[in-house]
Amino acid sequence: MAYNRPRQYDLFEFEQHNRQFLFLDGKLYTGDNIRAGELGHVIIDPHSRRRCYCGQCGCFDAICNVAVLESCAGGSLSRFFEQLAAEEKDIKKVWNTYTNHLALAIHNLKMMLDCTIIIGGYLGAEIGPFIDDLYRKIDKLSVFTPYSKAYVYPCKYKREAKTIQHTIDGSCAPGLFPLVSIPTIVGCVGALLIIIAAIATPIAKTQRAREIWFYVMSGGAVLKIVTMEIARSIL
């Protein structure tokens, strides 16, 4: 998998659980035990009583999970940001605490990896108008790199991004091929042949007819496999 830019970064996905993906030189870095980038279980508030699903208290995942915000707005993150825009006092307080923790996590990550950080998931989709709050707090913590705007940014593809590159810059759309393309159309024809033959074979009256439908079905399968392999070798 190739990536345009940046070559070294961390992607935060803020959904039901925070997930982090660590990329070094354009490749996913997994670590010795496939646990690299487990920022979710780094303790960022040792005094917190908020328990993480791992059993610890104060984990980044437990504290910066979007559920923390949603739970204050009837389970809706959009509503939370609407209320924040309306400057509701309690919501502002929650946002203040949340961004304190998030800024700390991002600052620590920046110090450790000196990388670009992309905020993805549901939070990445909503944080845009309020991201300056976060920038201000990160910049306050940072000694070496005071302009967090240059290395922290929300994902461009807002909802249900299916590929990492798509999340980052909207390119490399999900799926191997575009919906309307020759490989997809040929693949659909192959699938159609398989379906027709599957229906026709049991109701065919003669052995010879069943034999023909069997060849049609096999032809459809071969057509799909060949199309996929040719397209894969060309792409």
Reduced to 3 states, what is the DSSP secondary structure of residue 230? Answer: helix
- 120 close to 10: Cβ distance less than 8 angstroms: no
List phi, psi (to 5°) of 107: -60, -45
| C-alpha radius of gyration, the chain, whole number | 25
44 binds Zn ion (CB under 5 A): no
Of 78-137, binders to Zn ion (CB under 5 A) are: none
Closest approach of Zn ion to the CB of residue 157, in Å: 28
- The reply on whether position 54 binds Zn ion by CB under 5 A is yes
User: Residue 41, interface with Zn ion (CB under 5 A)?
Assistant: yes
Pairing relationship of beta strands 9-14 and 18-24 according to DSSP bridges: antiparallel
Mask for 11-40, x = binds Zn ion (CB under 5 A): ------------------------------
CB 186 → Zn ion: shortest distance, Å? Answer: 47
What's the closest the beta carbon of residue 152 comes to Zn ion, in angstroms?
23
From CA 235, how far away is CA 229, in angstroms rounded?
Answer: 10
Residues that bind Zn ion (CB under 5 A): 41, 52, 54, 56, 59
